[in-house]
Amino acid sequence: MANSKRELGAQTLVSVNGRVQPGESVVIVTDQKLLTIAELVGEAANAVGASVVTCIIPQRSQDGQEPPPPVAAAMAEANVIFSPVSVSITHTRAVRSALDRGARAILMTAYTGEIITSAGLLETDFEAQAEVCRRLGAALNDGEMLRLTSPKGTDLSFSIADRRVNMLTNIPDPGQLAPVPDIEVNVVPLEGSANGILIADASVPYLGIGVLKEPIICKVEDGFITSMEGGEQALVLREALEVHQNRNCFNVAELGIGLNPNAKLTGRMLDDEGVLGTIHIGIGTSHTLGGSVVAPTHYDLLMWDPTIEIDGTVVQRGAEVLV
Amino acid sequence: MQRGAKVLVETCAGVRSGEHVVIVTDADRVNIAREVAKAATAVGGEASVVVSPFRSIDNEEPTAPVSAAMNLADVIYLPVTHALSHTAAVRSAIAEGARVVSMSAFTERMMDEGGLFADFATRRLLCQATARRLSAASFVRVTNPAGTDLSFSIEGRSGNSHACIVDQPGFTAVPNIEANTSPVEGTTEGVLVVDGSIPYYGVGVIAEPVRFAISGGFVRSIEGGNQAGFLRDLLARQNDKWVYNIAQFAIGLNPECREFTGEMLNDEGVNGTIHIGIGTSSSLGGVVQAKTHFDAIIRKPSVWLDSEEVIRDGEILLA
C-alpha cells in the first residue's frame, strides 16, 4: 500500500533526520493539540524497531517553560527526542540535560500537517545540505568581519570574531538539536558591533505577522536597532518590542542563514527560517545561541537575496553558496 | 468516563494541587488515560500521559524512560494492557514516595459503571477489619455449592487490606476491594471447584466448572470443559512446578462489582466471592516465585476462620 505524504514526512523525520536505529529509545514529547503528529512519528519509529515512549504533557503556557519533571526524567533516558508541542520547549533545562547525556533532538514546535508534508521536508537531500551547512559554518568560524547587503538596500556590518557558529544541519549528532526542516547556520554578532541599515522584506514569523507586505526598515547603531519604520506590520513589531521597555529587546542577536533549497516562505518559523536565499536577523535575547544578552523576547526578521561578505570575500550571493 | 476519572483522582489517590501525576498507558488504553489526566488537571495536578510500548506479558519491566518518569511522580495511574503491578519500577517509585493506582486491563465500561462507584471510605473499614481477622486466624475452610471443600493454614501470615484508597506512599488496584492473605506453603488440601471466573490468559467467565484437586499445597489435576483443558495445557507448558502453588486466599468486598465480566479487577472484587491465587506468592507475603500467577474465583462461598463462619453462601457475616 502506498504511504500517505504524512507518513512519508514522519518516516523522513525518523530515518533521515533522527537516524533512529532498531532498539534505540525514542521519547516523543507532545501535547493534546499535536497528538496526531506525534502518533505519525511514533508509528514511523516503531516501524524501524525503536522502543517508543510518547509523553503527552499539559500544554505549556509560555515558550521555554520546563516540561513536568517526570517527563524531563524520561527525556534524559532517550537516544532520540522528538518534540511536536504547541509551545516551544527548545530552550529548557530538560532539553539541555538530555542533550548533555547524548540525546539527539528533533524539534517540532507547532508542527502542522502542512509542514510534515512540505517539500522542505520531503524533497530535501539533508545529507548534501548538511555538507553545505558545514562548509559555510567553517567560513563563518574563520571570519572576523561580516558585511550583509541586499538589493532592497540592506547594508549591515558586524564582527563575528571568535564567536561560536551554530550549524543546524538537521541531522543531529549526539548532543545536538535540529529544528527540521529549518537547515541553517547562525552566529551571534559581537555585542555592540553591528552598524548600518537592515531592510527586512521576507517575513517575521512571530506575533502573527508572517510574510511581509511592506518592508521593515531598521537603522542599527552600535549593536542596537535605533529606529524601525514601515507599514502596519512594522508597527505591530515595534509595539511588541517597546512594550517591554527594555533596550535589550532591540539587540542585534543573530545572523541566521537559511540553507533548505525546498523550503517555502509561509510565515511559519520552521518553514521560513530555512529558506535558501533568505537570511534572518534575530533581535533580542542571544544567550541561548552563545551570546551574552538576555532579553524577554527574541524575534527574527527575514530578508531576501542577501549577499554575505566575510573579510572582503563573498561567501553567498542570493541562493548561491560560494564556499 | 468523566465520572470514573473523578473518583480515581479525588477519592482513590486524593490528588492535590501542584502534584506531579504520571499516567502510564499503552496505545489501547490512551482514551482512559486522557480522561484521568483531565480529571487530575481539574484539581490542579500537573498530569502527563506516558504512552509505553506494548509489553508482551504481565509484570514485564517498563522501558527506562517510563520508569524514570514514574520515579519523579507523586501519583501514578497504570491503565495498561499488561499489569505493571509487580515490577521493580513500581517498587522503586513507591520507595520514592509515589501513590500508585493500578488499573491493569481496565475497560471504558469500568470507567462508567460498577466497582468504581462504591463507597470506598466505608468499605475500607470492613476490609481492614477483615484483614485483621485474617491476621488473627490460623485455619481456613472454604466450601461452595459447586463442590468446593478446601482447607489450609494461615498461621503467622498477615492479612492485607486493599480498599482502592491510597493516601500514603503505596499501592492499590481499583476497583477491586479485597482482603487477602497467603496460605502457608504446603498446607492446602481438598477440592476447588471454580464456577465464577478466571480473568487471566483470556479464560474469563466460567462456562463449565473447572475442578482443581489440591494436596500438599499444589494443584494435582485440573478437570472440566474447554476452559479447564486450555488452562491445564497452558500451565503444563510453563515447565515449572511452582505454577501449581496455592499462593493466595482473598475475599472480594466491592458491592458495586455485581457480576462476573471477565475483567480481572472487576471480577476479583465481586462482593462475597473468594478467589484462590495460584503460582507466585512472593509479592503477597509468601515465598514462592513462579513463572506466572492467576486467580480463580468461586461463587457463593462459605468461609470459616478457625471455627467461626464469616461468609455463608456469599453473604458476608463480618461486621
Q: Is the Cβ pair B65, A42 closer than 8 Å?
A: no
SS3 B266: helix
| Pairing relationship of beta strands B204-205 and B210-215 according to DSSP bridges | unpaired
Q: What is the pLDDT of residues B217-276, one digit of tens each?
A: 999 999 999 999 999 999 999 999 999 999 999 999 999 999 999 999 999 999 999 999
Mean pLDDT of each 10-residue bin along chain A, 323 residues long: 85 98 98 96 98 96 90 98 94 93 97 96 98 97 97 97 95 96 97 98 96 98 98 97 96 97 96 97 92 93 98 96 94
Determine the residue among A29, A41, A55 to mutate to test chain B binding: the one whose Cβ has the most chain B Cβ atoms within 10 Å.
A55
- Shortest Cα distance, chain A CAs vs residue B90, angstroms: 14
Interface check for B75 against chain A (CB to CB < 8 A): the answer is no
Q: Residues 6 or more apart from B313 whose CB is under 8 A from it?
A: B145, B300, B301, B302
Find the residue in A nearest to B24 (Cα).
Answer: A55
**Looking at the partner chain, which of B20, B51, B52 has a beta carbon nearest the beta carbon of A68?**
B20
Contact A85/A62 with Cβ under 8 angstroms?
no
Q: How far is CA A177 from CA A8, A17, A95, A181, B75, in A?
A: 21, 10, 9, 12, 32
DSSP secondary structure of B269-311 = TBTT-EEEEEE--GGGTS----S-EEEEEESS-EEEETTEEEE
Find the residue in A nearest to B48 (Cα).
Answer: A57
Backbone angles phi, psi at B300, to 5 degrees: 45, 50
DSSP tag of A251: B
Find the residue in A nearest to B37 (Cα).
Answer: A58
CA angle B225, B229, B233 (to 5 degrees): 175
Q: What is the mean pLDDT of chain B?
A: 95
Q: What is the pLDDT of residues B55-64, one digit of tens each?
A: 877 778 999 9
B88-95 and B64-71 helices, crossing angle to 10°: 20
How many beta carbons lie within 10 A of that of residue B287, not counting itself?
11
SS3 B143: strand
Q: Is the Cβ pair B50, A53 closer than 8 Å?
A: yes
C-alpha cell at A109: 514546535
Is the pLDDT reported for residue B280 higher than 90?
no
Query: What residues in B contact A80, CB-CB < 8 Å?
Result: none
Q: Percent of chain B, pLDDT > 70?
A: 100
Predicted pLDDT at A2: 55
Backbone angles phi, psi at A165, to 5 degrees: -100, 130
Taking only residues 59 to 88 of chain A, the set having a beta carbon closer than 8 angstroms to any beta carbon of chain B reads: 67-78
Integer Cα distance of A21 and A146 in angstroms: 40
Backbone angles phi, psi at A104, to 5 degrees: -105, 130
**Looking at the partner chain, which of B20, B63, B73 has a beta carbon nearest the beta carbon of A25?**
B63
Interface check for B25 against chain A (CB to CB < 8 A): the answer is no
**Looking at the partner chain, which of A42, A53, A72 has a beta carbon nearest the beta carbon of B63?**
A53
SS3 B64: helix
User: How many contacts (CB atoms, under 8 Å) link A and B?
Assistant: 71
Query: What residues in A contact B52, CB-CB < 8 Å?
Result: 53
Sheet with A224-229, edge to edge strand ranges = A224-229, A216-221, A195-200, A155-159, A145-149, A307-310, A313-317, A320-321
Integer Cα distance of A94 and B199 in angstroms: 41
Find the residue in B nearest to A54 (Cα).
Answer: B51
pTM above 0.95, yes or no: no
Q: Is the Cβ pair A56, B70 closer than 8 Å?
A: no
SS3 A105: strand
User: With bands split at pLDDT 50, 70 and 90, how would you rate the model's confidence at B52?
Assistant: very high
**Looking at the partner chain, which of B20, B37, B64 has a beta carbon nearest the beta carbon of A69?**
B20
Determine the residue among A41, A54, A61, A65 to mutate to test chain B binding: the one whose Cβ has the most chain B Cβ atoms within 10 Å.
A54
Interface check for A29 against chain B (CB to CB < 8 A): the answer is no
| Pairing relationship of beta strands B139-143 and B20-25 according to DSSP bridges | unpaired
Interface check for B37 against chain A (CB to CB < 8 A): the answer is yes
ipTM: 0.87
Within B139-270, residue ranges assigned H as helices are: 226-237, 264-267
Q: What is the pLDDT of residues B54-99, one digit of tens each?
A: 887 777 899 999 999 999 999 999 999 998 988 889 999 999 999 9
Interface check for A151 against chain B (CB to CB < 8 A): the answer is no
Q: Is the Cβ pair B53, A52 closer than 8 Å?
A: yes
Q: What is the pLDDT of residues A200-238, one digit of tens each?
A: 999 999 999 999 999 999 999 999 999 999 999 999 999
**Looking at the partner chain, which of B22, B63, B71 has a beta carbon nearest the beta carbon of A51?**
B63
Predicted pLDDT at A104: 98
| Pairing relationship of beta strands A320-321 and A313-317 according to DSSP bridges | antiparallel
Within B96-224, residue ranges assigned H as helices are: 108-112, 120-136
Q: What is the pLDDT of residues B112-170, one digit of tens each?
A: 999 999 999 999 999 999 999 999 999 999 999 999 999 999 999 999 999 999 999 99
Is the pLDDT reported for residue B302 higher than 60?
yes
